[in-house]
Structure 1
């Protein structure tokens, strides 16, 4: 295929990754080619297992229909998550009360909270709890820890359920740091698990500022449970800048985007 053909296919994949789907008629207009040419591109990309053709266009292949275990999630995009965690931690100020969600990205924040004074951390993450306790016993962390109680998910090393939700309702936080499984402009932020999603909804409702931490692999993904609209989010911290196609939408929703360095 010619270079221009490959560039067109890259355009299709980029649009697909951001929006989750593409429509043939829109691609015809945007790329100024025939519908037959678009059909060939989509066929080629489907053969390469990069998309799934559907009536009128194509959709992103979602291979992960179930949430990976906490141990498996730890090794995915580990360097990116570490940078995101460091950038997110700069948003924490002395005397803050913060929620730290159970994600593996938020877990990386804790290493960079040790110089903060008099902060209170509320979390449902078992690994976050152990890490904070370890730092506290070594006299490296001087804040307070509040662990959300309830039903324990051993595979995901977190606490969920109605008891956990009731406990969250007893706290007001300055900032909530939230991990996600998918993000799209019109679909908001989504997750694999409805119980965890319900708990995160409570955290968002109880916080002055809500901050999503996510690596680029979640862009264009829509998972089972809708957690929140983007208008409910104040800041997104990621490993890459905001996609240009999202910039106007984010501005309208008054969402600030921070790219980690």
Structure 2
């Protein structure tokens, strides 16, 4: 098969299934791993896909956002390690904000402190926290179906009045300068949370590094990043501008 035909096959496969593994492509195209790797590298340089460990994935649009259900099945082990590192940053007596999201949901599952107060904009998180007997304050507002996050002016006004010892947030994109997210209203909420926290942590698995979404939340120097180890060159650059905790 010609290189152009292989590359067309790969891009069609990515378009249909969103992700593809190196092993699968090697079997389907009946060629060597080294050949497929070169094809994937070329397609990445052409901005046709994004290379990930063991294969490649479709490049998301700036405004694309997966639902919590879709996010929950991706990179679970990495997210669990990130959540445990986040847990280690919480002290007894802290007032903590925990953002809506799948990685922060794992932090909620791990949280066993009784002498903490947790503020959250997630109905799902609030329910789990109350079950554990943890003092919980829930932010009101319009609930976004896809992410379970309370957004809008009511949420903004409530958050403006509160201060936090620590805040833990998810994010869709982290580049050399900014944290980004697809949604304008969620961006406002996240920015306020970071501003009102003595210490803010952004919890992202390394697939979010070097990614950019539609709306800038704030500069990366405003929060520490907790992520899993990555060969991504951005990690090195981030460490020059903010604290990066790799697990």
- TM band (smaller chain): 0.7 to 0.9
Cα gap change, 1:246 to 1:84, in 2 (>3 Å):
closer
Give, in whole Å, the separation in 2 of the partners of 1:229 and 1:51.
Answer: 27
Aligned to 1:71: 69
Aligned to 1:98: 96
The structural deviation recorded for 1:168 is 0.4
The structural deviation recorded for 1:244 is 5.3
What's the TM-score once normalised by structure 2's chain length? 0.75
**1:126 and 2:117 are equivalent in the alignment:** no
**1:220 and 2:210 are equivalent in the alignment:** yes
| Cα pair 1:106 1:179 within 8 Å, conserved | yes
SS at match of 1:50: helix
Cα gap change, 1:248 to 1:157, in 2 (>3 Å):
closer
Unaligned runs of 5+ in 1: 1-42, 137-142
Aligned to 1:16: none
* CA deviation string 1:100-124 (max 9, x = no partner): 011111111112220x241110101
Aligned pairs, how many? Answer: 204
Give, in whole Å, the separation in 2 of the partners of 1:145 and 1:109.
Answer: 15
The structural deviation recorded for 1:147 is 0.2
Give, in whole Å, the separation in 2 of the partners of 1:112 and 1:44.
Answer: 42
| Cα pair 2:173 2:208 within 8 Å, conserved | yes
Unaligned runs of 5+ in 2: 1-37, 51-57
The structural deviation recorded for 1:131 is 1.2
Cα gap change, 1:59 to 1:232, in 2 (>3 Å):
farther
SS at match of 2:239: helix
